[in-house]
Amino acid sequence: MDTVVIEDGKAQTFEVTSPTADKTKQLRKETKNRAEGGAFIRNRETREIVPVSGISEIVRIP
């Protein structure tokens, strides 16, 4: 994940990449980590643990 947006007590992660980059392996690894309990992130401002919703959204920028 490259960027995280925390809103309403939940975190959404984003993977920013090029239009042609293959992110299959990375998303597979992220899915495995989440299944093993890695579904939280720490809010840098409040230091609270925030649940992450879903897997990272891929944002492709030319």
Model-wide pTM > 0.85: no
When pLDDT is averaged across residues 9-25 and rounded to a whole number, the result is 91
**pLDDT at position 1, please?**
65
When pLDDT is averaged across residues 41-62 and rounded to a whole number, the result is 91
**Phi and psi dihedrals of 4, rounded to 5?**
-130, 135
% of the chain exceeding 90 in pLDDT: 53
What is the C-alpha separation between 35 and 45, in angstroms, rounded? 27
Q: Which residue carries 């980059």 as its tokens?
A: 21
